[in-house]
Amino acid sequence: MLKFTDIKQVYFLGIGGIGMSALARYFASQGITVSGYDRTATELTAQLETEGIVVHYDDNPSLLPANLDVSNSLIVYTPAVPVTHAELNALIDRGFSIHKRAEVLGIICNSRRTIAVAGTHGKTSVSTMTAHILKTSTLGCSAFLGGISKNYQTNLLLDSTSSEWIVAEADEFDRSFLHLLPELAVITSMDADHLDIYGSHEKVIESFRLFAGNIKEGGSLVLKKGLPIGHDLSSKYKLYSYSITETADFCAENIELKDGYYQFDLKTPEFRIEKLVLNYPGLLNVENSVAAVALAILAGASTEAIREALATYSGVKRRFDIHLNNESFVLIDDYAHHPAELRATIQSVRDIYRHRTLTGVFQPHLYSRTKDFATDFAASLDLLDQIVLLNIYPARELPIEGVSSELIFNQIKNKNKIICTRAELPALARAFKPGIVIMMGAGDIDNLVEPVKEQLLKYEDR
C-alpha cells in the first residue's frame, strides 16, 4: 500500500456504506481529495456530497476521476462490491492495487492506542457509548463508528485534544477485525452469523479467538461473561468479565426502571459507582453501557465523566430509535437483523411498555441469513402481538432457490401475522392497533419509517 504521506486522492467503491463513509470523511479531513461510487443515493451519500465529496451512482469506468494516478491514489473497496463490477475491473486493469476497507482502517488505527469493540451484536452501541464517555472526559478520542451517533450526528469523531485514543468498531464480517491490533477490546457476543462466510458457528468462535489474540501485550480484553473465548492467551493480556445478570468483574446491580430509563449501580474490580442513570431506553443498553464503562475505566476515564456521559447519551440512529411517542402510538426503528437481536429488542420494549399491544414489522436481511435462521427468526417474532413480515432485502446476494420470507412466515405460530411488500406497508399501517410499533431490519426498512409515521399520526382522525 502507498505510504499515507504519498496519498493525494482516495477513491471508494461502495462509499455509501457506514464503514466506508467514515473512512471517506477521515481522508477528507486530512485535506485529501475524496470521491467514490455507490449503487444507490441515500441520506448518507447526500451528506457526503454536501461535505465536498463527489459521489456518482452508475457503474461506469468513464466516470472515474480523470486524474487518478497509481503513484498517489488509494483505491478502497467493500467486499459487497461484486467481482463483475466494471469500475473495479477497470482499475485493476490500469494497475491499481485495490484495498479492503478493513485493511485501511487497520493501518490508521494500529498507529494509535486503539479500543476495538467486537461482537455479532451490540458493537455499534458499545463503541458509540465508549467514544462519548472518552469525549466527555479529559482523555478525548477519535472514533470510527458503525452508525450515526445522535450526540455528534456523524459516524466519524475526530479529536481536538491530540488524544492518543481511537475507538473502532471491529466487524467480524469477512474476518475484517483481524486487521486491528488493539490495546483494549471488548467482545459482546459470538452468535452464529455470517455463515455464508464462516460455514459454521465453530469457525465464527475461532475467528473471535484470533481477534483476541491480536490484543497487544499488556492490554486488556473485556468479555461478556460466559462467552467461550478460552483463557490460553490470558498471560498476554488482562481478562475481565462483564454482565448485568450475574456477578462479574464489571457488573450492574440494583437495576431499576424509572420513567422509561434505567438507574443502576456499577461494581468494578476496584470500586463501585452508585446510581448511574442511562438516558436511553432498553435493558439491552444497560448491558451495552456496562461494557462501554469498563473500557472507559481501563482507558483512564473518571467517575464524573462516566456519570455525565451516560446521562447525556443520545443513542445511535436506527438503534432503539424512537420516532413517535404520543398517547396512541410509540414508533421505534431498530437495526436488529439477527434472531438474538430481535429477541433482545422486543424484550426490552416489553419491559418498558408493559400491557401495551406490540406490533413488529421485520425485513429479513440476506437470503443466506434467512435460510440459516428461519426457525429462530420465527421464534423471536412470536414474542410480538402482531407480526408484519416484508420481503427479503438481498444486499450483496443473489436469490437462493426456495428461500423467501415465507420460510419464516410458515414457522410463526402466532396467527396474527401477514406478509406484505414495501409498497403495501404504509396503507397496512392505517389499521395498526394503538400501542408500540417496532420496525426492524438492516436493509432499507428505515426508508419506510416516515410513511408509517404519517399513517399513525392520522389515527385520531379515523
73-132 pLDDT, tens per residue?
999 999 889 899 999 999 999 999 999 999 999 999 998 999 999 999 899 999 999 999
Q: Which residue has the cell 473512512?
A: 23
Please, what's the b/e burial string for 335-359 (b: 16 or more CB within 10 A of its CB; e: otherwise)? bbbbbbbbbbbbebbbebbeebebb
Residue 196 has pLDDT above 80, yes or no: no
Looking at domain 4-99, its CATH architecture is 3-Layer(aba) Sandwich (3.40)
Looking at 272-366, list the stretches that DSSP marks H as alpha helix, in order from N- to C-terminal side.
283-299, 303-312, 339-352
pTM summary value: 0.90
Residue 159 has pLDDT above 90, yes or no: no
Domain with CATH 3.90.190.20 in the chain: 321-461
Q: Is 250 helix (H, G, I), strand (E, B) or coil?
A: strand
Residue 243 has pLDDT above 70, yes or no: yes
Domain with CATH 3.40.1190.10 in the chain: 110-312
Q: Can you tell me the distance from the alpha carbon of 48 to that of 66, in angstroms, rounded to the nearest whole number?
A: 20
What residues pair up with 238 in beta bridges, in sequence order? 220
Give the pLDDT mean for 315-326. 93
State in words which class domain 110-312 has. alpha beta
Confidence of residue 460 (pLDDT cuts 50, 70, 90): low
The pLDDT value given to residue 233: 60
Query: Contact at 8 Å (CB) between 278 and 314?
Result: no
Strands 73-77 and 98-100: parallel
And the C-alpha cell for 303?
467517575
The pLDDT value given to residue 50: 97
Residue 299 has pLDDT above 90, yes or no: yes
The pLDDT value given to residue 199: 84
CB atoms within 10 A of CB 78: 21
The pLDDT value given to residue 221: 96
- Dihedral class, residue 175 (left if φ above 0, else alpha if ψ from -120 to 50, else beta): left
Confidence of residue 173 (pLDDT cuts 50, 70, 90): confident
Which one is predicted more confidently, 103 or 461?
A: 103
Which of 334, 294, 310 is closest to 443 using CA atoms?
Answer: 334
The pLDDT value given to residue 388: 98
The pLDDT value given to residue 343: 94
What percentage of the chain has pLDDT greater than the value 70? 98
The pLDDT value given to residue 6: 87
Query: Contact at 8 Å (CB) between 318 and 335?
Result: yes
Confidence of residue 396 (pLDDT cuts 50, 70, 90): confident
Strands ordered across the beta sheet of 142-149? 154-157, 142-149, 165-170, 113-118, 184-187, 220-224, 238-243, 250-258, 261-267, 272-278
Residue 234 has pLDDT above 70, yes or no: no
The pLDDT value given to residue 461: 65
Looking at domain 321-461, its CATH architecture is Alpha-Beta Complex (3.90)
Give the pLDDT mean for 419-433. 95
Q: Can you tell me the distance from the alpha carbon of 312 to that of 279, in angstroms, rounded to the nearest whole number?
A: 6
Give the pLDDT mean for 4-32. 95
Strands 220-224 and 238-243: parallel
Give the pLDDT mean for 41-69. 95
Domain with CATH 3.40.50.720 in the chain: 4-99
Residue 1 has pLDDT above 80, yes or no: no
Average pLDDT along the chain: 93
Residue 21 has pLDDT above 70, yes or no: yes
Residue 276 has pLDDT above 80, yes or no: yes
Give the pLDDT mean for 454-458. 94
Confidence of residue 232 (pLDDT cuts 50, 70, 90): low
The pLDDT value given to residue 235: 74
Give the pLDDT mean for 343-365. 94
